[in-house]
Amino acid sequence: MSDQASQTDNSNLIARSLSAVWHPCSQMKRYENYPLISVARGSGIWLYDHGKKRYLDAVSSWWVNLFGHCNPRINAALRDQLDTLEHAMLAGFTHEPVVQLSERLRDIAPQGLGHCFYASDGASATEIALKMSAHFWRNSGKPDKVQFISLENGYHGETLGALSVTDVALFRDAYGALIRQQDTVPSPDSRQAAEGESADAYALRCADALERHLQRHHALLAAFIIEPLVQGAAGMAMYHPVYLRRARQLCTEYDVHLIADEIAVGMGRTGTMFACEQAPAQHDANIKHGDKGITPDFLCLSKGITGGYLPLSVVMTRDEIYRAFYDDGMARGFLHSHSYTGNPLACRAALATLDIFAQENVLAANRVKATYLNRIAAPLREHHSVSGWRNTGMIWAFEVRSQHADFAQRCFALALEQELLLRPIGNTIYFMPPYIINEAEMDMLVDRTVHIINQLS
Ligand SMILES: *Cc1c(COP(=O)(O)O)cnc(C)c1O
């Protein structure tokens, strides 16, 4: 195709999209001034438009992609599955991919999470965990435990139930009248520590606030839902893992479930397969290597679980909770379903993703990559407009001082000119790249981000 023909393709597709597609998380009018990108194809860390441009996917396409676009191994698994079974309902039926995936997740997840319940997206996983928790208490003779708490600035999805435990004003305010708002407790976000206060001391101070809340309200509380280690939508707020340990202890003590929403942070993103593994064994701040983490009552996974290929989410739960639903009567069962529950193609993509983890020693390779990026990032970290530099596993974030009220939009547009896909949250720029990123691509990411910040500050 000639350049001109492909440019025409680009603008045609954009015009058709703006006329027929209502894009998510968007004020559609802004697309008058800011670009919409038409993606023609993807390969590895790169997305290509219909013209001559390419973009380094530094946010893993909204935090889902782990091993690159059009990964040959996941593609091969999906082709094979496509000619075997594309879908069958999961009520009354079962199939190899969903069984294998459930067994393998049970083997690698924090100990005791023996049962997998499936849905198609993260918000549905949140809904399931909330409903299952309250229904457990009802089945256990405590029907008053129907309330939930979450962390300040937490994000657990945007359906009505998930929004009730989501504390992001932009997403919630317009729908406030539709939801039963739940209480929040202080976030251990280490940026909020007092002057001179360490991250672990601040996390423990927040855990004390959690304890006071539980003391007062536990009789009515079903569960506490948290994003372990990193609050993604809050702007990659990171906190000390000692908080997870204390939250687990307190929830057990006060008979309140702990829901770990690892939709974004699971699947290796924080440096361990699951963020919950990093909770220190003792109630002290010294994390010794090899210490075991915590087991939540519910573990929600989605996003990276299929390597970024297909919509799939899963809620894993403990045997004791599962048993409370096991009965002759239908009403005690967990009555929840989605048309595509346990879709075989999505499960197969997830199995291929787990194979790559197992065969390529991904977590160890990521540690080397993270060390490299931290080393070359000095020009960013020390930039006069940058503050709050932080890193957990394969997530990096920092704040940029800038006069521009529309910083995020401008930064997004400037990044595209630099062949980067960045999507700042407010004044926070973050990197959450696919795990296949190489050193040359990390060099490029850092160099060009410095260039963008110079233009904006
Ligand atoms: C993305 C996300 C969700 C919601 O997942 P969707 O698939 O977008 O519905 C929930 N919790 C966390 C922590 C997330 O990052």
Residue 400 CA to residue 455 CA, distance in Å, equals 12
To test the pocket of ligand 1, the residue of 302, 310, 312, 313 to mutate (highest count of ligand atoms within 8 Å of its CB) is 302
- Asked if residue 283 has pLDDT above 60, the reply is no
**Rg, Å, the chain Cα set:** 22
CA-nearest residue for atom 6, ligand 1, is 122
Rounded to the nearest whole angstrom, what is the distance from the C-alpha of residue 124 to the centroid of ligand 1?
9
- 206 near 188, Cβ under 8 Å? yes
Q: What is the pLDDT of residue 257?
A: 98
Q: Calculate mean pLDDT across residues 17-45.
A: 94
Ordered by where they begin, the domains of the chain are 3-70+362-456 (3.90.1150.10), 75-360 (3.40.640.10)
**What DSSP state is assigned to residue 373?**
H
Q: What is the pLDDT of residue 282?
A: 62
Instruction: Specify the DSSP element, H or E, that contains 204.
Output: helix 199-217
Judge residue 442's burial from the number of C-beta atoms within 10 Å of its C-beta, 0-12 exposed, 13-18 middle, 19 or more buried: buried
DSSP-derived 3-state class of residue 40: strand
Q: What is the pLDDT of residue 5?
A: 72
> In one letter, which amino acid is 127?
E
Q: Calculate mean pLDDT across residues 350-376.
A: 98
Q: What is the pLDDT of residue 439?
A: 98
CA-nearest residue for atom 10, ligand 1, is 156
- Asked if residue 105 has pLDDT above 70, the reply is yes
CB proximity list for 409: less than 8 A, separation 6 or greater: 30, 34
Q: Which atom of ligand 1 is nearest to the CA of 124?
A: 9
pLDDT band (50, 70, 90) for residue 289:
very low
Q: Tokens for 144?
A: 């008053």
- Asked if residue 101 has pLDDT above 90, the reply is yes
- Asked if residue 386 has pLDDT above 90, the reply is yes
Q: Establish whether residue 427 lines the binding site of ligand 1, counting it when its CB lies within 6 angstroms of any ligand atom.
A: no
Residue 88 CA to residue 341 CA, distance in Å, equals 9
Rounded to the nearest whole angstrom, what is the distance from the C-alpha of residue 264 to the centroid of ligand 1?
7
Q: What is the pLDDT of residue 6?
A: 76
Q: Calculate mean pLDDT across residues 68-88.
A: 98
Q: What is the pLDDT of residue 2?
A: 66
- Asked if residue 333 has pLDDT above 50, the reply is yes
- Asked if residue 223 has pLDDT above 60, the reply is yes
Residue 46 CA to residue 330 CA, distance in Å, equals 49
The DSSP line for 140-185 is: TT-TT--EEEEETT----SSHHHHTT---HHHHGGGGGGS---EEE
Rounded to the nearest whole angstrom, what is the distance from the C-alpha of residue 62 to the centroid of ligand 1?
10
Q: What is the pLDDT of residue 34?
A: 85
**CA terminus-to-terminus distance, the chain:** 40
Residue 312 CA to residue 291 CA, distance in Å, equals 30
pLDDT band (50, 70, 90) for residue 35:
confident
Q: Establish whether residue 262 lines the binding site of ligand 1, counting it when its CB lies within 6 angstroms of any ligand atom.
A: no
pLDDT tens per residue, range 171-192: 888 999 999 989 999 999 999 9
Q: Establish whether residue 227 lines the binding site of ligand 1, counting it when its CB lies within 6 angstroms of any ligand atom.
A: yes
Nearest residue to 257 via CA among 114, 147, 111, 122? 147
Q: Tokens for 56?
A: 């380094």
pTM assigned to the model: 0.96
pLDDT band (50, 70, 90) for residue 1:
low
Rounded to the nearest whole angstrom, what is the distance from the C-alpha of residue 180 to the centroid of ligand 1?
19
Mean model confidence pLDDT for the chain: 95
Dihedral (Cα; 3, 8, 11, 12), 10-degree rounding: -140
Residue 95 CA to residue 105 CA, distance in Å, equals 16
Q: Which atom of ligand 1 is nearest to the CA of 231?
A: 13
CA-nearest residue for atom 7, ligand 1, is 122
Q: Which atom of ligand 1 is nearest to the CA of 302?
A: 7
Judge residue 359's burial from the number of C-beta atoms within 10 Å of its C-beta, 0-12 exposed, 13-18 middle, 19 or more buried: exposed
Q: What is the pLDDT of residue 290?
A: 47
Q: Calculate mean pLDDT across residues 135-145.
A: 98
CA-nearest residue for atom 11, ligand 1, is 156
| Strand partners for 115 | 317
CB atoms closer than 10 angstroms to residue 339: 9
- Asked if residue 287 has pLDDT above 50, the reply is no
Q: Establish whether residue 157 lines the binding site of ligand 1, counting it when its CB lies within 6 angstroms of any ligand atom.
A: yes
Q: Tokens for 1?
A: 């195709």
Return the axis-axis angle of helices 362-376 and 439-456, rounded to nearest 10°: 40
The single residue listed with the structure tokens 């020693």 is 361
Q: Tokens for 167?
A: 């504390």
To test the pocket of ligand 1, the residue of 62, 65, 163, 303 to mutate (highest count of ligand atoms within 8 Å of its CB) is 303
Q: Establish whether residue 122 lines the binding site of ligand 1, counting it when its CB lies within 6 angstroms of any ligand atom.
A: yes
Percent of all residues in the chain with a pLDDT value above 90, rounded to a whole number: 92
